Amino acid sequence: IAHAWRYRDYLIRAFNDDVPYDQMVREHIAGDLLDKPRMHPTEWYNESIVATGFWYMHQATHAPVDVRKDEANRIDNQIDVLSKSFLAMTVSCARCHDHKFDAISTADYYGMAGFLQSSRQHIAFLDREGVIGDTVDKVDALHDAATSRFLEALRSGAEPRDIRMADYLMATKELRKGAKDTGVILEERGLDGERLMRWVQALDDSATDARAHPMHLWNAVLKEMDAGRAEADRFPDARNAVAERLASVARDEAEQAAE
């Protein structure tokens, strides 16, 4: 039988991968009709359809004299193997009479025979040029390279962002005091206006009231300054503490992304 080794290898992989029995039954009987077939682990072609090679494993005669009789015998053998394998009973004897002790009639037999007779057997090329697996490998390589570049950019960008963080924190303090116009602050410190507004909005967020929030300490100092209860020399310590906390958050996110 041509390509019988493919079905053999399919069984070996299925047993090694602990494929559930009900899944194997579906693949054997109608693996070409599954909505979500299994894929080959390395070559990425349709693995489930290989199981339909089961239907080729039947008795046959080379160049039979009576073609119709040979077809009937071949289908009878397929029904016999199917029923014994998956129904644990013999159905092929209903070819000529109703079962004497089981609820299997000749109508049931020829219903199955009609299903098999109307099914077409042919050899299909699942990956004619052998390119599916190579293409998947190339896509994986591109994905890994892009991920590596992204993580490297994330790591390298953490420190400069921390350095500029101090300027944005001090700018939010000046804006809150209203001592200088926004345009003057941006020009003096060389900051981005849109980013500064996001810092202002973030510090106005009530979520910073929670002690676990990275910006809690800074916002608390600003509020104390507004109320006249904090000294200006507390700003450097608060700024450094916030910078360290946010840098730690950035490193944690980078490590989680790498995993």
Distances (CA, A) of 205 to 92, 210, 219: 76, 11, 10
User: pLDDT band at residue 247, thresholds of 50, 70 and 90?
Assistant: low
Task: Quote the CA–CA distance of 86 and 94 in Å, as a whole number.
Answer: 17
Q: What is the per-residue pLDDT across 158-186, written as a single tens digit (0 to 9) for each?
A: 555 545 777 777 787 777 777 678 888 88
> What pLDDT does residue 181 have?
80
pLDDT in tens, 84-101: 888 888 888 888 888 877
What CA–CA distances, in Å, run from 198 to 155, 165, 190, 193?
22, 12, 16, 9
Rounded Cα–Cα distance for residues 173 and 237 (Å): 14
Q: How much is the pTM?
A: 0.44
Q: Where do runs of H (alpha helix) occur along the chain?
A: 4-16, 21-30, 67-82, 106-117, 132-177, 182-189, 193-204, 216-226, 234-258
Which band of pLDDT confidence, cut at 50, 70 and 90, is reported for residue 120? Answer: confident
CA-based nearest residue to 77, from 63, 57, 96, 48: 57
pLDDT band per the 50, 70, 90 thresholds, residue 27: very high
Cβ count within 10 A of residue 72 = 14
Domain spans, the chain? 4-129, 134-258
Q: Tell me: the pLDDT tens digits for 215-228?
A: 666 667 666 655 55
Task: Give the gyration radius of the chain's Cα atoms.
Answer: 36
Phi, psi of 151 (to 5 degrees): -65, -35
